[in-house]
Amino acid sequence: MSDLHALPKDFIEELKALFGDRFSIAPAVLEHHGRDESSYPTLPPQAVVFANSTEEVAMLVKLCSLYEVPVIPFGAGTSLEGHVLPIQGGVCLDLNNMNQVLSIHPEDMLAVVQPAVRRKQLNAELKDTGYFFPVDPGADATLGGMCATRASGTNAVRYGTMRENVLALTVVAASGEIIKTGTQAKKSSAGYDLTRLFVGSEGTLGIITEITLKIYPHPEDIAAAICSFANVTEAVNAVIEVIQAGIPVARVELVDELAIRAINQYSKLSLIEKPTLFFEFVGSAQSLKEQAEFAQEIAKNNGGLDFEWATRPEDRARLWHARHNAYFACLQLQPGCRIINTDVCVPISKLAQCISETRQELDASWLKAPILGHVGDGNYHVLLAIDPNNPADLEEAERLNSGIVHRALQLGGTCTGEHGVGIHKMNFLVDEHGEGAIELMRSIKKALDPKNILNPGKIFKI
């Protein structure tokens, strides 16, 4: 556990004076803020502060800058690559008290929220407006965290990622200055695009305290279907043809045979234990019929079985709930296991090759490793189940992860489609972008955070 006494005494006293009982060094509080959903061991911060406003965040950051103490923003703790671990010590800034939907503007199709608003919370408040927020990474993450990691998920094939759905931000810079980026207008050509700079910066360039988001009208009708295939290659080839044919699917997810088996056990379903595509179609009744018929024809031509439909809201919800719980289902594949969850993204034309070669490599290993994917945009995940007490398992998982990433890079893809870099993907960033690009990123970091206090040790090394 981090040593509180390593923090300057005057700094501690000022924190106590500013935040009172919202400053904590209680061991249980520190431990809770020293872990996320990654496979890394718990690493508690030296102190935790709970902020209630942008102004309080600014006060904390100014104090941390003065004493050169790291500050790590924390929301739901659902990140997968060690993003929130205080690897250089410091203060964890818990933003969960900043959880208000500030305003909804249906006429402009936007909403303004604080960073700890959860995506389900926002959609509950939008329910009676006829609008919804579509970015759905599976976990009920905070929208601030989703901005910080440039999250996406199952709906990205139709609605895009957080990058496309954030119009403006309020950000506390490393100096403690409060800055505004973007506007409520749908587009702008005014200066550098600072909004996109902070979206995906993983808390290393500034702390997001307010977000203006795009919202969308609820579709007239929704229909979901699943379709099983003899192997992963046939399933992915069907997806490629559906996308290339211009069928406007809302979601198309791949779940391989091992993951289906785990989902059946965990969610008490009886899906065919074969590689399976989960489809969702939206639109008018007529357009749904046309989309579905075309997609089903393509699926059959690639060896797929007839579509099994879920048109009632409760059936769709159960189906997608099972898909979103695949991570927890796969934890049951091996008693006491932990999951190293890696993701990559490749051009859609290379997806079948990439997944097929990955599946062959995984099948040659002793680790259980299901594949799931938001395959409509070329993104897939591998869940590597390891015994945390067996060093050989961890070594094998990292070997497989390296192979997965380098295969994606060789095919023109990226080392992470949506999880972000955090700690775990740092070493792959140079392979992807080249040393010149990484040095430019370092220059931006040094310019905006010269004392390296904002979530240090993430994305790349300084």
Count Cβ neighbours within 10 Å for each residue of 256-285 and write b for 16 or more, e otherwise.
Answer: bbbbbbbbbebbeeebebbbbbbbbbbbee
Give the mean pLDDT of the chain.
Answer: 94
Is the pLDDT at 150 greater than 50? The verdict is: yes
Closest alpha carbon to 373 in 259, 460, 284:
259
SS3 of residue 372 by DSSP: strand
Pair 351, 420: CB distance under 8 Å = no
Residue 94 CA neighbour count, 13 Å, CB half: 21
pLDDT for the residue 3: 55
CA dist 192 and 88 (Å) reads: 31
Is the predicted pLDDT of residue 300 greater than 90, yes or no?
A: yes
What DSSP string runs through 47-58? EEEE--SHHHHH
pLDDT of residue 1: 41
Each residue of 154-171: pLDDT tens digit?
Answer: 899 999 999 999 999 999
The pLDDT score that the predictor gives to residue 314 is 87
State how far the Cα of 321 lies from the Cα of 263, in Å rounded to an integer.
10
Residue-wise pLDDT tens digits, 240-286 = 999 999 998 999 999 999 999 999 999 988 899 999 999 999 988 88
How large is the average pLDDT for residues 109-113? 98
Distant-in-sequence, close-in-space partners of 206: CB < 8 Å, separation ≥ 6: 171, 172, 173, 174, 179, 198, 448, 454
Per-residue pLDDT tens over the stretch 166-196: 999 999 999 999 999 999 999 999 999 999 9
At residue 129, what are phi and psi to the nearest 5 degrees? -90, -15
Q: Which letter, b or e, does each residue of 68-94 get, where b requires 16 or more Cβ atoms within 10 Å of its Cβ?
A: ebbbbbbbbbbbbbbbbbbeebbbbbb
pLDDT above 80: residue 111: yes
pTM of the predicted model, to two decimals?
A: 0.93
Q: Return the sign of the alpha-carbon dihedral for residues 241, 291, 293, 152.
A: positive
Considering only CA atoms, which of 138, 143, 151 is closest in space to residue 119? 143
